[in-house]
Amino acid sequence: MLRMAALALLALTGSAAADAACAPGRLDVRWDGGRESFSVEVADDAGERAQGLMFREAMDPAAGMLFVYEAPRRVQFWMKNTLIPLDMVFADATGTVTRVHANAVPGDLSPIDGGEGVMFVLEINGGLAGKLGLVPGAVLRHPMIPAAGAAWPCDG
Q: Judge whether 102 and 129 are in contact, CB under 8 Å.
A: yes
| pLDDT tens, position by position, 104-128 | 999 999 999 999 999 999 999 999 9
**Domain boundary assignment for the chain:** 23-141
Mean pLDDT of the chain: 89
Tell me the CATH architecture of domain 23-141. Sandwich (2.60)
Q: How far apart are CA 27 and CA 19, in angstroms?
A: 12
Q: How far apart are CA 103 and CA 137, in angstroms?
A: 19
The pTM of this model reads: 0.87
Computed from CA positions of residues 87, 37, 131, 97, in that sequence, does the dihedral angle turn out positive or negative?
negative
| pLDDT tens, position by position, 59-86 | 999 999 999 999 999 999 999 999 999 9
